[in-house]
Amino acid sequence: MVRTISLNTKLVTGCMLMLAFSLMLSASLLFMYGNYYLRTSRDVMLLTMFKQVLVAASDISSERSPINILLGLEPETESDARRELQTLRQASNAALDMITQPVTDGVSLSQDQDLVAAIDRVRKALVIGRADIDALIALPRAQRSADKIMQGMRDMFLAADLVRPIAVGAIAKISAEDESLAGPAMTAQMLGELRDYSGRLIAQMIPFVSTRVPLPDAFVFDLVRTRERILEVWQLAGRQGGLYAGDRHLGILRQQINARFFGQGLQIIDRAATTGRMTGAFGISAEELGERYLPTLEPIEQLRTGFLDAALNKVSEERFSALIWLVAMSITAGLLIAATSVLIVAGRYYVLQPLMMASDHIVNLSNGEAIGELVSPTNSREMLRLFDALEGLRIILSEREQHTERLKVLSETDGLTGLINRRLFDRIGHGDPEFDEMSTDVSVIMMDLDRFKGINDTYGHLAGDQVLKHAAAIVQRVCRRSDLAARYGGEEISIIVFEPDEWVAMNVAERIRAELEAKPVITPDGRRISVTASFGVAHGKRAGANWLTMVKAADAALYEAKASGRNRVCRAGGALIGANKSVA
């Protein structure tokens, strides 16, 4: 016997294969562009971390700027340099803290124990150097020797030198992640060194300028060596052909460095060194030297920051481009998968789903469940006939259910007032199991319209009906959502208040009484009919004999209210509220 394969099995198998191939293609595209985006994101993070290292190195070097000025002043002299020094020290500490803070995606210098140890060495060197400098600044100028000042400066130089291994370690990390970033990182490092060595020139001069001591030959040699190192670093940075290409701002900064630092700043140092080499008469004070020389270093700092920002912007643009491609591929993959899914759904929709839907509808109808309008999901003649027949059956069953519901409403509702009728009222009170979820601790209000027969006799039965509907409307408006009101018979209305505190029921009754008294009925011919009512309130439990006892007590209280002059609320047990009355 030949085993046959159902059309449904063939359809599902073919669709699953198509969906599998679509998922594989989409996954490969997303993997490729996702990796591209992750790589560029890591590049941005690595360059950002490296920039923070250079910021820390620059901040430490910048601490020497106000020191150069303060070493030329007496301790008690007021100067902005003191406040600037404190600000720069705080900036240096914050920059070092930023280096060791964790970064998302596992990229963090704090993971490298060697670099963490190097940062600790920088902090310790700063503590020593700052202490030496503070001690020097606190001394009178006459007691500051060139040797002490040089020692303090060497301590500060050491702190700056100790940052260099951190930068080198960061460059190594960047190169390992992306070789294309090694060049920009090394160039930024060279520009940072250019700023540091340029600052050292004046720091090497300050001990002798502030003490008016002639420059020793050994110091002149150190000064020349520092100057040569500055020129060497500048030439190396300038050989990066693409450093300024296409960036007008960086090109302007390079020109400013040539004009301000190499054209003016170095000349200031050279003149001071030449005049003070033999006699110590430098022709300029330490404060003036700092105020004239330090501003010439600003373009160097700006170029280093601007160059690194340009590199960061370039990588950020690549990351954004990668994100665009990733989003585009995600959308494409989504559309591909959606198209495949639509084909699968369409096949099942036109082959199997209509019959399955019809089967489900037949089961639901046989179980008496409510369903919406039945419409064939396809335009085939057979399915249209089948669903038309099912819709006709649904309509017949729905009409039968609606008719049954209308009969139930009619059997439980008073046609004139819209309140529930006495039959349902008694079912609730006697504890019908259908209403078990309702509270058994209740109060009953029995309400009777005063002199209603006289209204009928005077104004007619139509006016009497209008009064009844008016009273029922007030009752429904005043009662809470949880309360139930019924037309108990004739002009008598009963209310069940589901509340353990019977004074709540007393208040409900009083509000109905007051509103009924305040709002007369206006007949169609314009006559005003004043309407009042008397109320009896009793409290107890629903169900069985308890209910009958409570209704009788409320009815007795009602008659007591009428006997007391009508337009009253009387509680079973003696409390009375009404016109010109208070709670007893």
Q: How far apart are CA 511 and CA 77, in angstroms?
A: 86
491 is catalytic: yes
Average pLDDT of span 384-395: 70
Name the pairing type of β-strands 568-571 and 533-541. parallel
171-181, pLDDT tens digit by residue?
A: 777 778 777 77
328-384, pLDDT tens digit by residue?
A: 878 887 787 777 777 666 666 665 667 666 666 666 666 666 666 666 677 777 777
- CB distance 69 to 291 below 8 Å: yes
Q: How far apart are CA 527 and CA 459, in angstroms?
A: 9
Q: Is the pLDDT of residue 77 over 70?
A: yes
Q: Which of 95-104, 314-323, 367-376 has the highest mean pLDDT?
A: 314-323
Reported as a pLDDT band with limits 50, 70 and 90, residue 404 is: very low
Q: How far apart are CA 207 and CA 166, in angstroms?
A: 29
Q: Is the pLDDT of residue 514 over 90?
A: yes
Reported as a pLDDT band with limits 50, 70 and 90, residue 286 is: confident
Considering the chain, what percentage of its residues have pLDDT values greater than 90? Answer: 16
Residue with tokens 């006699």: 279
Reported as a pLDDT band with limits 50, 70 and 90, residue 583 is: very low
Mean residue pLDDT of the chain comes to: 80
Residue 342, class by beta-carbon neighbours within 10 Å (0-12 exposed, 13-18 middle, 19+ buried)? exposed
492-502, pLDDT tens digit by residue?
A: 999 999 988 88
Q: How far apart are CA 337 and CA 16, in angstroms?
A: 11
Angle, helices 217-238 vs 266-279, to 10°: value is 170
* Composition of the chain by helix, strand, coil, percent to 5: 75, 10, 20
Q: Of 193, 301, 318, 491, which one is the catalytic site residue?
A: 491
Q: What is the pLDDT of residue 66?
A: 84
CB neighbourhood size of 582 (10 A): 8
Residue with tokens 């004070």: 285
Structure tokens at 328: 């585009």
Q: Extract long-range pairs of 82-90: CB within 8 Å, 24+ residues apart.
A: 88/59, 88/62, 88/63, 89/63, 89/130
Q: What is the pLDDT of residue 102?
A: 59
Q: Is the pLDDT of residue 314 over 70?
A: yes
Q: How far apart are CA 369 and CA 263, in angstroms?
A: 95
Q: Is the pLDDT of residue 296 over 80?
A: yes
Residue 288 sits at the vertex; the CA angle it makes with 287 and 289, to the nearest 5 degrees, is 90
Pick from 139-153, 165-179, 507-521: least confident: 165-179
Structure tokens at 430: 């006697």
Q: How far apart are CA 463 and CA 452, in angstroms?
A: 10
Following DSSP, what letter does each residue of 130-146 receive, concatenated? Answer: HHHHHHHHHS-GGG--H
Q: How far apart are CA 415 and CA 420, in angstroms?
A: 9
Specify the DSSP element, H or E, that contains 583: none
Q: What's the sign of the alpha-carbon dihedral 80, 83, 89, 91?
A: negative
Q: Is the pLDDT of residue 32 over 70?
A: yes
- CB distance 470 to 530 below 8 Å: no
What domains can be seen in the chain, in order of their start residue?
A: 10-326 (no CATH), 359-412 (no CATH), 420-578 (3.30.70.270)
Q: Is the pLDDT of residue 524 over 60?
A: yes
More confident site: 97 or 487: 487
Q: What is the pLDDT of residue 406?
A: 46
Q: Is the pLDDT of residue 580 over 50?
A: no
Q: What is the pLDDT of residue 577?
A: 56
Structure tokens at 580: 């010109």
Q: What is the pLDDT of residue 476?
A: 93
Q: Which of 26-35, 262-271, 373-382 has the highest mean pLDDT?
A: 262-271
CB neighbourhood size of 176 (10 A): 10
Coil, helix or strand at residue 184: helix
Q: Is the pLDDT of residue 70 over 80?
A: yes
Coil, helix or strand at residue 76: coil
More confident site: 169 or 369: 169
- CB distance 502 to 443 below 8 Å: yes
Residue 143, class by beta-carbon neighbours within 10 Å (0-12 exposed, 13-18 middle, 19+ buried)? exposed
Following DSSP, what letter does each residue of 160-175 receive, concatenated? Answer: HHHHHHHHHHHHHHHH
Confidence (pTM): 0.50
Q: Is the pLDDT of residue 297 over 70?
A: yes
Q: Is the pLDDT of residue 266 over 50?
A: yes
Q: How far apart are CA 16 and CA 563, in angstroms?
A: 86
CB neighbourhood size of 78 (10 A): 8
Considering the chain, what percentage of its residues have pLDDT values greater than 70? Answer: 83
Q: Is the pLDDT of residue 393 over 70?
A: no
More confident site: 474 or 141: 474
Q: Is the pLDDT of residue 241 over 70?
A: no
Structure tokens at 118: 């190097």
Q: Is the pLDDT of residue 445 over 50?
A: yes
Q: How far apart are CA 202 and CA 224, in angstroms?
A: 12
Reported as a pLDDT band with limits 50, 70 and 90, residue 584 is: very low
Specify the DSSP element, H or E, that contains 511: helix 502-518
Q: How far apart are CA 275 and CA 297, in angstroms?
A: 23
Q: Is the pLDDT of residue 554 over 90?
A: yes
